[in-house]
Structures are given as C-alpha cells and as structure tokens.
Structure 1
Amino acid sequence: MDRDANPAQQAPAGNGPAQVKISNLNKTFHRGKEAVHVLRDISLEIAQGELLVLLGPSGCGKTTLLRCLVGLEKPGQGRVELGDTTVVDADARVFVQPNKRDVAMVFQNYALWPHMKVAANVAYPLKARKMKDELKNGRVHEVLQVVQCDHLADRYPPELSGGQQQRISLARALAPRPALLLLDEPLSNLDALLRIELRAQLRLLHRELGFTGVYVTHDQEEALALGTRVAVMKEGQFEQIGPPAEVYSFPATEYVADFLGARNRLELHTEGDGRATVAGVPLEGFVRPGLGGRFALRLRDADPVLRVAGTPGDEDRHWITGAELIEVLPAGDHAEHVVRLGDQTLFVDVPATRGVFEPGAKVDIGLATDSVLCYDADGRLVRDWAAI
C-alpha cells in the first residue's frame, strides 16, 4: 500500500536560494482565560522567485502567517529570516518592525489613500523609504505601465473601478522592488469575470518580473492557477505542500481532497480477496487483491456518470445501483445533478450534451477507478488500491 508519508513537504520549489526561511513558528491569541493556537510549529522555506499560495478556509491561520511575515503580528515562538536578515527570533527577542522589513503587502480592500492621486499613491512607499533615485528615474510611471494603468496617474482612487484600484495597489507594492511581496486575498472583492482577468494578469506579471511572493486565498482555482507551490492549511498547520498539479491530482489527505473539490464520499469495504462493496453495492474487479479493510472514496462532481437504472452503460466503468435523482440544477453548458444513494447525497456534474435526467428518476452511478481517490482509516491517500 503506497501512501503519501510526508504530504507537507517544506523544501522550496526550484533550485534558487531560499528567500524566506520560517522555523518552528507558533502564534497564540488569548481570549480571557482561553488560549487559541492559530499557528502550530510552522516551518517552511520559500525560494527566490517563487509564488507560494496559502490555501484554506477561514480560521486556518493563513492570514495570521502572512501578518507574521510582514510584522503586523508577533509570534510567540519561532524564527523568520528574510534573505540574510533575521526579522523574527522569539528566543533572542528579535522583532524587526514592519517599516524596517523589505516587504510589501497588497490588501483585500486596496488600502489606497483616497485624497492622493494614483501617482502619489504609488510614489508613497518610495518616499517613505527615501528612494530618491527611483523617484527621479521614473519608477512610478514604469510600474504603472507594468499593471497597464499609466493612463490613470492623475485620477483619484474613488474615481476608479475595483479592478483598477487593485492594480494600483499592486503597482504601489511593486514600486520599491521588495524582497518579498505578500498578497492577502487581493481578488476576493471583485466580480467573477474580473477575478479571472486579474488572475491571468497577475500570473503574467509573476512570470515577467520573477518576484518572490506569498499569496493567501480560500479559492482553489486561484491557488492552482497562480502558485508555483500550494500549501493547504488546516488548524494552523500545513496539511500538504506541493506543486499545484500534484496537490490537485493526489491530495494527500481526505481534508485536502474535500477542500479541492472531491466532496463526494463513498464507503469502500473489502475483505482482501479482491471482492469489494461500495456504499453496500458489490463490485467485481474494482480493487486489487490483498487490499483489505474499510476505506473512503472521494470523487469530484465531474468524475462519476449517470445512466437510467438498468440501461446499458460504459463497460469500462463500475456501476453502483439503487440511486435516485433528487434535483437538477441547470448551469448553461452543464447541469448539477443531486443524487441520493441510501442516506448519502452525491453531486454529479453532467454536460448538457449528454441530456438532462428528470428528478425522481432511478439512476445508476458509474465510476472509473482512475478518477477515484482512496483514503485509509486515518484519512491518508492510498495510491495503489484499484485493480489493474
């Protein structure tokens, strides 16, 4: 049984030197007599030029980690090194203030000065850091060109759209050429289409400029699109760290699988002789001989297929019978089908080209083993579970 033994790999991507080194970082908030451990023994290296995405639900610690890097939170334990500079060392009582760190941050709410024109907003960090040569050599105009907003230099932030304001916020952060760029859910306030557009622009900027960054989001599509590595967080710890394609294709734990869209869960029981039941339905040739015990199968909405109960179907799939279609939610070129199987509810995404089933219909659910994820009783990924 091949299991992912160490899902939270901490080595930086690529061969470049480590730009950020985090060692044994802990952060606790005290609420009266209650201690809330927000970060638990976090260790991580981020390579120069890498864009690491912190992914997880609200309350998992991703924004707190970002705030510890910029200096807005003081860790109780641990060490943070930025390049050759130690900016946090709790044991040695070292804590460099935010304005003394070579770090810039892009906020969710833009945080632009409304009374300053765009050019003045972008120039602000250059003036604060006394970077007179950069101001004189046209750095403000240069960085506004990079984000395609040089024509907005003489406008005030309230005169701009949300997307324009976020690009100005990004230009302001990039202006002083920081050693580390931090982005705290910068696209979450924008509408869906604009988010996709700015996501593409941000990916292009990272490829062109090669800045080192940490990006916080709860949006899995954003994480997979932008990150050179993705770090999935749970309760103040890393659940899995790896390249986006690896984390998506092989979620190391059930938690990661669920968060990355594999929300459908089926119980698998096998005695070790090759026979198996899924959701109580016997399936022949489904698991490899020698695999015994109880497991959880995880599927994304697009992985299973449906057929009217008892009708011929794809012979390359294994069919679970006894399901009923509860509801159909049309969505243009596809429709979400809500299926009840015993006491479980499953969600199946069916392309419009395959037709639409009617609510109340008895259906079979078809599974292809190469699109099913399997997890053991501890919630760990099992890679070699299926019959060949």
Structure 2
Amino acid sequence: MTFKVTAVLGALIWAGTGSVFAAAPQDPAVVKIGHVAPTSGQSAHLGRDNEDGARLAIEDLNAQGVVIGGRKVKLELVAEDDGADPKQATAAAQKLVDAKVAGVIGHLNSGTTLPASKIYNDAGIAQISPSATAPKYTLQGFKTAFRVVANDVHLGGTLGRYAIEQLKGKVVAVIDDRTAYGQGVADEFEKGVKAAGGTLVARESTTDKATDFSAILTSIKAKKPDILFFGGMDSVGGPMLRQMKQLGLQAKFVGGDGICTADLPKLSGSALSSIQVVCAEAGGVEGEQKKTLEAFRARFKTRFNHEVKLYAPYVYDAVQVMVAAMVKAGSSDPVKYLPTLAATQDYPGVTGRIGFDAKGDIRHGALTIYTYKSGQRESLGVVR
C-alpha cells in the first residue's frame, strides 16, 4: 500500500493545499469524470485497459479523500464506449457533455479523439487524451485539449531514424491502416527514414478491420525490403505477422505504440520470432522512476487480475493531474480549473514528470523502444 499513498500524496502535495485529507462537514459533492475508449470491437482489450486505469485512479483518490474549494468531494467515473468509430465517438462525447462531467479522459484513438475534441471544446470541458498521437489534435487551437504522450512527429520520426541508423535498414516498405493514427505515424516514419538516408520502395494501405493481407505482402516481398513498417493497431498487426511468416517475408516488423502491446505475441501466434519486431511506446521512464511504474503495474494486476496492456498508466496519470488541477484551483468548474491545468509543469506521475506546453502537448515527451523475446516484451531503451 506504500505506493498508493505516495502517488496520491504526491499529486495532492503538488496541488498546494494542506487540507486535502481533512474531514469536511458537508456531505460529499459528486464530481463526474468522463472516460471514453473502445470497449467493444477489435481494440476492446486496449479500451478496457484504459478504463481500468481510470477506475483505479478514481478509487485511489476517493480512498484518500479529496477536498475541492473547502468541500469534500466524491469522484464518479462516467464511462462510455466509442467502438473506435468516429461517429460513435461524437455521440459518446455529447452524452458526457449532457451528463455535465467536469472533465474527460480519452479518447484512445486519434481518429476518435479528433472529432470528439470539438464537442468538448464547444462545451468548455477539459479533455486529456492518454494515447492519441495525431499532431492535429493539439494544433486546432483548443484551450481544452491536452495529452500525456508524445505525438506522431516525435514517435514516427524517431522510429524512422532508428530503423536506418540502429537496425541498419536500407530498403523500407510502409503499410498504414487508413486511420488518422495509422496514416499519421506512417507519414512521420517515412520522413524519418528519408532523413536518415533510407530508401522507401512501397507505401500501401489496408484497413483497421482487415484480416487478409496476402496481396499487399506478396507485392512488397518482391521488392525485398529489410524493414516493414505498419501504422496501425495490434489486432491487425498480429495477423499481418502470421501472413508474413506464411509468405516467407523475413523483414523486420516495425511499428508504433498501436502494436507495442503485451497482447501482440498472442495475436501473432507462433509467427512472432525473437527480435523480429521493434516498436515504440509513447512514453518512458528511467532510473528510480522505474520502481514507481513497476509498483503501479503490480497493484493494477492485483486489482484487475490482468497485466497492464499499454496505456493504463497514462490514463491513471491523466485522471490524477486533472483532479490535482481542480484541487489547486479550488473548483471543479472547467472555466476555473482549466488555466491551472494548462499551467501544469512538474506533476509527479507514475509515468514520470508531467508538464504541458502552450498547445497542450506534454513537454519533454519520451519514447521507449521495445522488442519481443520468447514471447515477452523487452525494453531496448528510452529515447527523448
């Protein structure tokens, strides 16, 4: 239990109040925090992981007791499913606005985050995405939009240079899944490859629901790439790896955070050979911070009986930093706490120190490069 107390105390000490844990005479006021992710469809395993991260943060804060503006509050999670579908995402966003949530954590995908962000902005409600990496999200000029992970410019570009400079790739093929995330990260990867002197021999597209890639992979195999980059999610990347093996396509399989999950070995089956896959997660910790994150992962597994799949720690931090801003501002009204949230510079999260720039992007965003050995994800290091 040491970690829980430390993490929550850190958030509330940062918030600059000495009365957070004091008993309040009134009945607790309810403060609703919205969360949206795909809890149905192909990305449901990642969406449920995100929702569990939000739920754990709410439970921790309620257990410790939070006082906002001199009154004890009870935080309530209002969870919606967007099915990774832009239309469903906007409907879910409007439901949260109608429910008068004080803030929203989500969405998981860039393709759902972007259309929903306008709805939150029009309603003046703060939104922190724990995982959307499309640069456009924070380039719209919305004062309500924030994220706690690095964007595609950093992630894709860094991976492109890494593929050429560290993996010694020379001939590169790229496939994207036609989503905002997949296309965006693939575009930035392509730029990184070219900047590092690599040669792009193919750029193909599939969809985020496809299962048959034989025609695309056969065409790519004829061009003999040593690197194949996929911009998309693990639910498509896993089957793609299986078909690569069937066709004898032995290129290194490189991807962003969408494929960089604990479930990729299961989704790809026996096709996932050691060190064939190299991927990057938008975030990363080093030194003593590793102990804090590992303690969170252990506690998360105890609570939900499954390992963290990908973004749950970032969701947890997003909830904590939002509530800390409410505490510091003395109000859960977005009009009053949004300036405090935007001014966040050194919040002590389980994923590291969190601060936002003028656009709402995280400052000093890190990437962790991973590979897989014997079916287990293994870190190759943190890149900033």
Q: TM-score, normalised by structure 2?
A: 0.26
Higher helix share: 2
The answer to which structure, 1 or 2, has the higher relative contact order (CA under 8 A, 6+ apart) is 2
Higher strand share: 1
